[in-house]
Amino acid sequence: MFFDNTLLDIAARGFILSAIGLAWVTLLIRIVGLRSLSKMTNFDFVMTVALGSVLAAAVTADKWTVFGQCIAAMAGLFLFQWLVARARKDSDTFETAIQNEPIFLMREGEFCEDALKSTRVARSDVMAKLREANVLSLSEVRAVVLETTGDVSVLHGEKLDDSLVENVRD
């Protein structure tokens, strides 16, 4: 792509295509916004993983056509994510169709056994999250929620504002 010498060409491709690829992703993020790299939904997570895979393919491309296709694919991923985010914002039906519901794993200091079973989350995983959240007593736990992204939120303290968990499935 750049030089006849194989070793020199490999090094040049590694540095130059990486720089172009990163600059392109940065430009796309500036255009679309930081929301494009969030983990707010499972779709956003998949977008981030796919973007990393396409960027990896771009920086290892050995032909300009492959590199160009990867650059176009990155733009396509950002466009598609923007369209899906817009549709989610505008349509509750669309959001319900593509979005997982958050679910209680624990409520008022008690484990939600059915939820643990259906989500395949072990008690030991919940206990680890409780320790990370500096919970000192199970009686302090108001709720543990498996979020739509797969993250686990621990809500503890004296009182829980019901609006924080109004869309969480029992």
Q: For position 48, what pLDDT does the model report?
A: 87
Given the candidates 3.40.50.300, 3.40.190.10, 3.50.40.10, 3.30.240.20, the CATH classification of the domain at 103-165 is: 3.30.240.20
Residue 101's SS3 state is coil
Average pLDDT, the chain: 91
Cβ count within 10 A of residue 36: 20
Residues in the chain: 170
Does the global pTM surpass 0.75?
no
Element (H, E) at 19: helix 6-32
Residue 52: predicted pLDDT? 94
Q: How far is CA 56 from CA 20, 45, 74, 157, in A?
A: 12, 17, 11, 44
Q: Minimum mean pLDDT among 25-29, 35-39, 111-115: which range?
A: 35-39
